[in-house]
Amino acid sequence: MKELSTKQSRILDFLRQFLEDKGYPPSIRDIVKGCKISSTSVVEYNLRILEREGYLRRDREVSRGIELSPRNRGIVRVPIIGYIAAGEPIPVPSADTWSALGIAESLELTQELTRGKEGVYALKVKGTSMVDALINDGDLVLMQHVETAENGEMVAVWLKREKEATLKKFYLEPGRIRLQPANEEMKPIYADPEDVEIQGKVIGIIRKLE
């Protein structure tokens, strides 16, 4: 997939917005106005490219015959890139993971859950080692790829020395890091900052039952 020109991303953004607002796609002349383009044929030209690159599908000769690819709608497809378990390293998304599309399982969510965040992925919980985070075997953990964390955020950390993966609330204290289980009744653990490797931020939990 080639890089998109600024004009093309603007058109794509406009399409998304228009579709969300009005519930139907814009006409070519709507795009002309909305993106401050000077001619219908310029839009035609760029739509042709966007279609070739797979961002949308068009029905010829049909007014407003534009269908956005699913990932461009209000619905987001989140890849389930692997499992998270106590004794195993936490999978981290890489360029590879994203390009290897289709193969992995995925999850369809509304923006309501992801809140439009970039770099969102999901991990499936294996085992009951996360019960202190009120997370069960089989739960889906919605993650955002981050390098650092703010105090109070729930993060996935890899404890190097203990060789252990865990989900805890993160608090940076003088000289140490406090990792607090979500279950307030349980005691926090303290770790050397050197020992803590932040693998991502937890932005949601989804548990499907029955």
Partner DNA sequence: CCCTTCCTCGAACGTTTGTTCTAACAATAT
Partner DNA sequence: ATATTGTTAGAACAAACGTTCGAGGAAGGG
Exactly one of 39, 162, 163, 206 binds a second copy (CB under 8 A); which one? Answer: 206
Assigned token pair, 38: 């000077």
Say whether residue 208 binds a second copy (CB under 8 A).
yes
Catalytic residue, candidates 33, 69, 168, 187: 168
Q: Contacts with DNA in 133-162 (CB under 7 A)?
A: none
Catalytic residue, candidates 36, 124, 129, 163: 129
Residues 6+ apart with CB under 8 A from 90: 84, 123, 156, 158, 165, 199, 200
Q: Is the dihedral of CA 146, 148, 153, 159 positive or negative?
A: positive
Strand partners, 82: 123
Say whether residue 21 binds DNA (CB under 7 A).
no
CA-CA distance, 7 to 36, in Å (whole number)?
Answer: 10
Comparing CA positions, the residue from 81, 107, 92 lying closest to residue 165 is 92
CA-CA distance, 143 to 156, in Å (whole number)?
Answer: 8
Q: What are phi and psi of 40, to 5 degrees?
A: -60, -30
Say whether residue 118 binds DNA (CB under 7 A).
no
Q: Contacts with DNA in 55-74 (CB under 7 A)?
A: 58, 60-65
Shortest Cβ distance from residue 30 to DNA (Å)? 6
Q: Are 133 and 168 contacting, i.e. CB atoms less than 8 angstroms apart?
A: yes
Residue 107 binds: one of a second copy, DNA, none (C-beta under 5 to 8 A by kind):
a second copy
Shortest Cβ distance from residue 56 to DNA (Å)? 12
Residue 210 binds: one of DNA, a second copy, none (C-beta under 5 to 8 A by kind):
a second copy
Strand partners, 106: 79
Q: Does the active-site annotation cover 187?
A: no
Which of the stretches 31-39, 80-88, 103-111, 123-131 binds DNA when contact is defined by CB under 7 A?
A: 31-39
Q: State how far Cα 190 lies from the chain centre.
A: 30
3-state secondary structure of 126: coil
Q: Does the active-site annotation cover 94?
A: no
Binding site for a second copy (CB under 8 A): 22-25, 27, 57, 59, 62-68, 74-75, 107-110, 112-113, 128, 131, 134-136, 153-154, 182-185, 201-210
Binding site for DNA (CB under 7 A): 5, 7, 27-30, 37-42, 44-46, 49, 58, 60-65
